[in-house]
Amino acid sequence: MVFRKLPGVSASGMGLRLSQKFVFLLFLSGLVTLCFGALFFLPDSVRLKRIFLSKTEIQPVTVGSGSENDVREHLKRPKEQGMTSAKGETGTKGKSLSRKPSVSHEATEERLAGGKAQEDLTLSRSKTESASERATSSDRGANSDTFSYQKFRGCLLKAPLGRDNGKPGDPQTNERREKVKEMMKFAWDNYKRYAWGKNELRPLTRNGHIGNMFGGLRGASIIDSLDTLYIMGLMEEYNDAKEWVQTNLDLNSNGEASLFEVNIRYVGGLLSAYYLTGEELFKNKAMELGEKLLPAFNTPTGIPRGVINLGSGTIWSWGWASAGSSILAEFGTLHLEFVHLTELSNNPVYTEKVMNIRKLLNKIEKPHGLYPNFLSPVSGNWVQHHVSIGGLGDSFYEYLIKSYLMSDKTDDDAKRMYYGALEAIEANLVQKSPGGLTYMAEWRGGILDHKMGHLACFSGGMIGIGADDGAPEKRQHYLDLAAEITHTCHESYTRSATKLGPEAFRFDGGAEATATRLSDRYYILRPEVIESYMYMWRLTHDPKYREWGWEAVEALEQHCRVESGFSGIRDVYTMTVSHDNMQQSFFLSETLKYLYLLFSDDDLLPLEDWVFNTEAHPLPIIRKSCLQDETTQDKTVSK
Ligand code: DMJ
């Protein structure tokens, strides 16, 4: 059979004209482009998207979402918010070490002191910092080689763990300290048994909780416990924790995380563990994670958004935060950790990011000198005028004074901002109740809400540690104010049936340091009141603070200890307690650590050398001139 070529028709099998072919091809390529483009609009979690787009190409639409200091569980994306996209350049560092992690306090100290032990350290360093890791760091301007752990130790005034690990001379205090250690071991053992690798233990149902605050990161209780276990001398447990970090802490997660929570718990926990032990593993993990947080700052003002996808670097604001705003206590609680990340990596970017936040805060108008809780990361203006020393505001103020202290008292800007803020707080928020209790009210555009949150109770300790550095004539005034606030917070405990404090207590409608609303009656193992006892004890040595701490231990034992761990309770005003089935990671990191320090001698983590981040992870004071001095030697052995 013969095919005849018709005029104007191509010889192709389809029998199309050239122009038809062209139109068809055009249509086809349009279709392909459209399909590919549509991938960008799929959520990050869709597999197809991960297959076709590399991580760095994924820049999806960013919409608002939210975390409050403790309303953090409600990650929601509102539809109405505008898009902000930021690319997360994921690092390739943090490979696992091959050295078996098993050390005692003594071995660590010996290793840090030099000799054969020093060789081990060097060996572990060279294993950790592979050539490719160094290349990655220097590409970004970082150079972790320049930080010398030995030198850092030489710049401390005292040995971190004191003469005898802070063991108090007085037998009763020592017994109490041992009790707290037992509580830590109990909390840890149960976490290990029922929830190992998960973020928190559910002690009633005996399983693990993951939650959605950490963007797919796991092991929050492990990271939060490293330093507590170490200072308590629970070395077997510490070694298990370290081994988990070494083999299981996967930072390549692709979930939506709270920038604030990941910073204070994970970055803070890893940094502390590094400074206390000298283990490079912790430093490398902290730096790797720090890099992943940087895209959060890619906003028109450089004020970070509250939520970040750790894989893609996409960022957005919490859904409940009005008009896509960022939260003062969140973007204001990065300074300590970020300055240390610069210190360790020699990469200025971290300090630049947090200094930029400070610059903006300095520039904008502050109503009555106060810092409202919500700020737009787009315009750089306050979004509304709610001021609080409790949730949403709290740790911003804490980080001002601690930034000053951590800088070896050289950061005058932080000092000025802290005392300025404190003056405004005193003028506008500090109140005296009819019964004579001093408290911090909340401020809503000039109208006072006579309520104080449990979270605000950290302020007793904060005002106490800042008392020495303001105007000399105000020193006693600040110490008195710190003592009064701590007293009020103690009252909120003693006025409940369980002797534990409610989430918020009021000073109106006849109430004096008691919760009037059902929804404020819970206690979730929070540390703030005990934190203030610890600081006030160190500052005054008034025995009442140890007594108050012991009351809290007894109440925790009676009402929060269950068969398989510790649990929060739903109503502090009833003796027939209902448990919330959650052992928060901050119970191990903060509540038990502060109690242990309260019953220890002051030379365990001396305040001359350490500041605690807001999750109670100790970070060392940076003594620049000493660190830069060529002749600095590690004097650990003699300390
Ligand atoms: C902790 O995670 C931190 O202290 C934070 O600053 C706020 N509160 C919780 C514990 O209550």
The larger pLDDT score, comparing residue 491 to residue 446, is at 491
For the CA of 265, the closest atom of ligand 1 is 2
Pocket test for ligand 1, best of 590, 591, 612 (most atoms within 8 A of CB): 590
Catalytic residue among 261, 288, 491, 503: 503
Pocket test for ligand 1, best of 455, 462, 587, 594 (most atoms within 8 A of CB): 455
- Model confidence at 630: pLDDT above 90: no
Ligand 1 midpoint to CA 102 (Å): 30
> Over the stretch 1-36, which tens digit does the pLDDT of each residue have?
333 333 333 333 345 566 676 666 777 766 655 545
Ligand 1 midpoint to CA 336 (Å): 15
Residue whose CA is at the smallest distance from ligand 1 atom 1? 615
Interatomic CA distance for residues 15 and 625, integer angstroms: 83
Ligand 1 midpoint to CA 602 (Å): 23
Residue 351, Cβ density class (10 Å: 0-12 exposed, 13-18 middle, ≥19 buried): middle
Q: Structure tokens of 305?
A: 């958004």
Which segment of 33-37, 321-325, 449-453, 532-536 scores lowest on mean pLDDT? 33-37
E strands along 233-387, which residues? 256-258, 307-309, 315-316, 326-327, 374-375, 382-384, 386-387
Ligand 1 midpoint to CA 235 (Å): 26
> CA torsion sign, 169 to 171 to 175 to 178?
positive
The closest of 473, 485, 319, 322 to 397, measured between CA atoms, is 485
Question: What is the β-pairing status of strands 430-432 and 442-444?
Answer: unpaired
User: What pLDDT does residue 51 have?
Assistant: 35
Residue whose CA is at the smallest distance from ligand 1 atom 3? 615
Interatomic CA distance for residues 485 and 429, integer angstroms: 12
- Model confidence at 462: pLDDT above 90: yes
Ligand 1 midpoint to CA 15 (Å): 73
* Residues 6 or more apart in contact with residue 532 via CB below 8 angstroms: 457, 458, 459, 460, 461, 464, 482, 485, 486, 489
* Residues 6 or more apart in contact with residue 147 via CB below 8 angstroms: 283, 343, 344, 345, 346
- Model confidence at 68: pLDDT above 50: no
For the CA of 333, the closest atom of ligand 1 is 6
Ligand 1 midpoint to CA 504 (Å): 14
Interatomic CA distance for residues 614 and 633, integer angstroms: 31
Pocket test for ligand 1, best of 225, 331, 615 (most atoms within 8 A of CB): 615
- Model confidence at 491: pLDDT above 90: yes
Ligand 1 midpoint to CA 149 (Å): 29
Question: What is the β-pairing status of strands 442-444 and 438-440?
Answer: unpaired
Straight-line distance from the first to the last Cα atom of the chain, in angstroms, rounded to the nearest whole number: 103
- Model confidence at 373: pLDDT above 70: yes
The closest of 306, 174, 45 to 601, measured between CA atoms, is 174
The larger pLDDT score, comparing residue 98 to residue 402, is at 402
> Over the stretch 393-410, which tens digit does the pLDDT of each residue have?
999 999 999 999 999 999
User: What pLDDT does residue 629 have?
Assistant: 84
Residue whose CA is at the smallest distance from ligand 1 atom 10? 526
For the CA of 528, the closest atom of ligand 1 is 11
Q: How confident is the model at residue 627 (pLDDT cuts 50, 70, 90)?
A: very high
pLDDT > 70 fraction of the chain, expressed in percent and rounded: 77
Residues with CB under 6 A from ligand 1: 69, 395, 455, 526-527, 586, 590, 614-615
What global pTM score does this model have?
A: 0.82
Q: How confident is the model at residue 616 (pLDDT cuts 50, 70, 90)?
A: very high
Interatomic CA distance for residues 407 and 422, integer angstroms: 20
Residue whose CA is at the smallest distance from ligand 1 atom 7? 69
For the CA of 261, the closest atom of ligand 1 is 2
> Over the stretch 111-166, which tens digit does the pLDDT of each residue have?
444 333 332 322 232 332 332 333 333 334 445 558 999 999 999 999 999 999 99
330 is catalytic: no
Q: How confident is the model at residue 279 (pLDDT cuts 50, 70, 90)?
A: very high
- Mean pLDDT across 43-52: 37
> Over the stretch 316-351, which tens digit does the pLDDT of each residue have?
999 999 889 999 999 999 999 999 999 999 999 999
For the CA of 531, the closest atom of ligand 1 is 4
